[in-house]
Amino acid sequence: MIASVAFRNFKALRNTSLRLSPFNLVIGANGSGKTSLIQALQQLRALAKLPLGDPATVTRAGGSEISFAFDAPHLGVIARLGCVDDAVCDLLRVESVNRADWEEVKVGLATMRSYVFDHAAMAAPAPRESGARLAGDGSNLAAVLARWQRETPAAFDQLQAELTRWLPEFTGIVVPEDAGGVVRLGLKIGDAEGPVMADNLSQGVFYVLGILVLSFDPAPPAVVCIEEIDRGIHPRMLRAVRDALYRLSYPAAMGETRAPVQVIATTHSPYLLDLFREHPEEIVITQKHGHEAHFERLADRADLAELLREGSLGDIWFSGILGGVPEES
Amino acid sequence: MKIAFLSESPADEAVLRVLVEGALKEQPTVASAGYRARGWPNVLQVLPAVIRHLHFNTDVDTLVVTGDSDDSPVHTAAHDAPQYYHPHCRMCQLRAVFRQTSKRFPAAHGRLRVRRVVGVAVPALEAWLLCGVEDSVNEAAWTEGQARGILPYTRAELKLKVYRTERPSLPYEIACAVREAERHRRDLRRLEYDFPGFAALLRDLQEPIPEIS
């Protein structure tokens, strides 16, 4: 979908670019530009919904600019965001040989979603009609699952089976609805009489459910951004998290025939990073020096093979050899 | 016999269980806790703590440990000479950790020490899984390739042949790996012949459990 992003004077990203893969795991110190990358994509999505103006009138000299290029079959399309300051972009200029190409790109961008799961919000009851698409904080989780159970039971069953594989103490999902059309979430435990309702479930269970909803979405978006995908999840379950995200980006590897979903995820977990030893091309390191940050692809590092002979990828990152660590005073 | 396993991944452990059962011709009691490492060199890093824990806190009498050789030097008969230790050979490294960790342990739980069972898959466990299917995949071919500087295959190619994808899910990876390991269960001779790193594991498994005299 999105082939690359180039930044000029956008927050700490003063002059850097990033080639995007189907799957991208972004690592780096706090405040190094991981979230800025996702915010840039959100701004593109927001501005792409609006009618395009005259290119001559939407060019702003100086200032911040973010440029996007796209994968085939839209190689000729370039979208440039102009920003009023180093955080807010309000102009979109599109360079495309064929206007129809941009219209197709827009359709994909409109489906793009970003997630920062909030377990407290995910535990809350949700109005029945809010379940069309998982909200950015996961706050309508119960309504989404209820809708899947009603309308796409095969996807619901797949998700439920995967949940019980990840967390074998649970045997199923319940989503009772009250008279006012509000849905609550609960999980069944073995032979216990009643389910454990959301307010008594642990934080990690909600994060797991959020990831599974994205992974088994019967109508997934073209691009998914997820912050801190390892949060609240036991390190031994991170392989399952990786598999769930690969299911989106590489559906053929999982025996599925739908279109791939481009995934941009962030993490601070060396344990999760260890799982990408064989795919360094999927790792992006944000490097920050002073007030300026830039992106590097791990696979571009010439001595990577030699380094990996000496230790695990996560440990090598933590050591500082790869960069992407906090600066010390 | 009560066995514990330590390997680079859950899929590797599933394979080891099948192969060890095949060697023993019986189903041993397996320690309930699953000990895990996060690939090499984490196996080497956590091994001393696992040995210590098993020795003092459990009645496990046998610890089966494997690692992939990756690009490291392959263990040879010359390494088995008394007092010899190759600093980069993973078999030598794993054996040395056993030796150094347990040499001063007092007897506990009715045995002198936990029996060491060590194997190294050259260059990765997937080579064992392809044994008998791909004639060109064997330890001698890899060692010869290392010497010539032209490796006969890559680890990624081996994985692709076993799993048919570069990104298998863990349940699928385990299912494929166990299916291939089951081919060997009844007759381990081909695997033993083609992969001395597996033959070493079998020899260790035939050693008696170190008991208090």
Tokens 């360079």 sit at which residue? A95
On whether any CB of chain B is under 8 Å from the CB of A314, the answer is yes
On whether any CB of chain A is under 8 Å from the CB of B167, the answer is yes
pLDDT over threshold 70, residue A182? yes
B167 with A274: Cβ contact below 8 A: no
How high does pLDDT run on average in chain B? 95
How high does pLDDT run on average in chain A? 93
pLDDT over threshold 60, residue A47? yes
Q: Measured between alpha carbons, how far is residue B89 from residues A155, B39, B95, B192 in Å? A: 48, 16, 10, 19
- Specify which residues A5 forms β-bridges with: A18, A68
- Residue A57 has what pLDDT? 54
Indicate the residue type of A97: V
CA A106 to chain centroid: 19
Considering only A13-22, A180-189, A301-310, which range has the smallest mean pLDDT? A301-310
Is residue B61 a contact partner of residue A299, using CB atoms and an 8 Å limit? no
Contact list in B for residue A274 (CB cut-off 8 A) is 38-39
Is residue A42 a contact partner of residue A10, using CB atoms and an 8 Å limit? no
B156 with A247: Cβ contact below 8 A: no
Interface probe with B: pick from A164, A249, A254, A316, most Cβ of B within 10 Å: A254
User: Which A residues, 220 through 259, put their C-beta within 8 Å of a C-beta on chain B?
Assistant: 236, 239-240, 243, 246-247, 250, 252-254
* Distance from C-alpha of A50 to C-alpha of A193, rounded to nearest angstrom: 52
CA A167 to chain centroid: 23
pLDDT over threshold 60, residue A80? yes
pLDDT over threshold 90, residue A145? yes
Indicate the residue type of A176: P
Contact list in A for residue B10 (CB cut-off 8 A) is 239
- Specify which residues A173 forms β-bridges with: A187
- Residue A54 has what pLDDT? 61
- Specify which residues A104 forms β-bridges with: none
Size of interface A-B (CB pairs under 8 A): 41
Contact list in A for residue B88 (CB cut-off 8 A) is none
Task: Count CB neighbours of B97 within 10 A.
Answer: 20
CA A317 to chain centroid: 21
Residue B201 structure tokens:
């594991």
Contact list in B for residue A314 (CB cut-off 8 A) is 38
* Distance from C-alpha of B165 to C-alpha of A172, rounded to nearest angstrom: 31
Q: For residue B88, give the DSSP letter.
A: T
Tokens 């999927």 sit at which residue? A282
- The pairing of strands A2-10 and A13-19 is antiparallel
Q: Could you tell me which chain B residue has the CA closest to the CA of A277?
A: B39
pLDDT over threshold 70, residue A6? yes
A243 with B166: Cβ contact below 8 A: no
Nearest to A243 among B36, B166, B170 (CB): B170
Instruction: Please list, in sequence order, all residues whose beta carbon lies within 8 angstroms of the beta carbon of residue B148, skipping any fewer than 6 positions away.
Output: none
pLDDT, average across residues A39-49: 93
pLDDT, average across residues A19-25: 97
Q: Which of B5, B28, B194 is nearest to B117 (CA)?
A: B5
pLDDT over threshold 90, residue A193? no
* Distance from C-alpha of A88 to C-alpha of A293, rounded to nearest angstrom: 18
Contact list in A for residue B36 (CB cut-off 8 A) is 236
Q: How many angstroms away from the CA of A144 is the closest CA of chain B?
A: 25
Classify each residue of A228-251 as buried b or exposed e, where b means 16 or more C-beta atoms within 10 Å of its C-beta.
bbbbebeeeebbbbbbbbbbbbbb
* Distance from C-alpha of A283 to C-alpha of A272, rounded to nearest angstrom: 11
On whether any CB of chain B is under 8 Å from the CB of A165, the answer is yes
Q: Could you tell me which chain B residue has the CA closest to the CA of A314?
A: B38
Q: Which of A13, A21, A134, A24 is nearest to A83 (CA)?
A: A13
Q: How many angstroms away from the CA of B171 is the closest CA of chain A?
A: 9
- Residue A67 has what pLDDT? 95
The per-residue pLDDT for range B148-168, each reduced to its tens digit, is: 999 999 999 999 999 999 999
- Specify which residues A187 forms β-bridges with: A173, A196
Query: Which segments within B110-173 are labelled E, that is strand?
Result: 115-121
Helix A141-151 crosses helix A203-215 at what angle (to 10 degrees)? 40
3-state secondary structure chain A: CEEEEEEEEECCEEEEEEECCCEEEEEECCCCCHHHHHHHHHHHHHHHCCCCCCCCCCCCCCCEEEEEEECCCCCCCEEEEEECCCCCEEEEEEECCCHHHHHHHHHHHHHCEEECCCHHHHHCCEEHHHCCCCCCCCCCHHHHHHHHHHHCHHHHHHHHHHHHHHCCCEEEEECCECCCCEECCEEEECCCCCCEEHHHCCHHHHHHHHHHHHHCCCCCCCEEEECCCCCCCCHHHHHHHHHHHHHHHCHHHHCCCCCCCEEEEECCCHHHHHCCCCCHHHEEEEEEECCEEEEEEHHHCCCHHHHHHHCCHHHHHHHCCCCCCCCCC
Residue B140 structure tokens:
């001698």
- Residue B210 has what pLDDT? 85
Nearest to B71 among A278, A309, A312 (CB): A309
* Distance from C-alpha of B40 to C-alpha of A23, rounded to nearest angstrom: 25
**Would you call B63 helix, strand, or coil by DSSP?**
strand
pLDDT over threshold 60, residue A266? yes
- Residue B212 has what pLDDT? 79
Does the global pTM surpass 0.80?
yes
Q: Could you tell me which chain A residue has the CA closest to the CA of B68?
A: A309
Q: Measured between alpha carbons, how far is residue A28 from residues A81, A101, A298, B87, B155 in Å? A: 25, 34, 12, 34, 29
- Residue A185 has what pLDDT? 98
Q: Measured between alpha carbons, how far is residue A128 from residues A148, A153, A199, B115 in Å? A: 11, 16, 18, 60
A240 with B39: Cβ contact below 8 A: no
- Residue A56 has what pLDDT? 58
Is residue A275 a contact partner of residue B197, using CB atoms and an 8 Å limit? no
On whether any CB of chain B is under 8 Å from the CB of A309, the answer is yes
Rg (CA), chain A: 21
| Percentage of chain B lying above the pLDDT 70 cut | 100
- Specify which residues A287 forms β-bridges with: A294
Considering only A2-6, A236-240, A254-258, B73-77, which range has the smallest mean pLDDT? A254-258
Q: How many angstroms away from the CA of B70 is the closest CA of chain A?
A: 8
On whether any CB of chain A is under 8 Å from the CB of B197, the answer is no
pLDDT, average across residues A1-15: 93
Tokens 């940050």 sit at which residue? A293
A278 with B156: Cβ contact below 8 A: yes
Indicate the residue type of B187: D
The per-residue pLDDT for range B68-127, each reduced to its tens digit, is: 999 999 999 999 999 899 999 999 999 999 999 999 999 999 999 999 999 999 999 999
On whether any CB of chain B is under 8 Å from the CB of A164, the answer is no
pLDDT over threshold 70, residue A306? yes
- Residue A264 has what pLDDT? 98
Is residue A30 a contact partner of residue A325, using CB atoms and an 8 Å limit? no
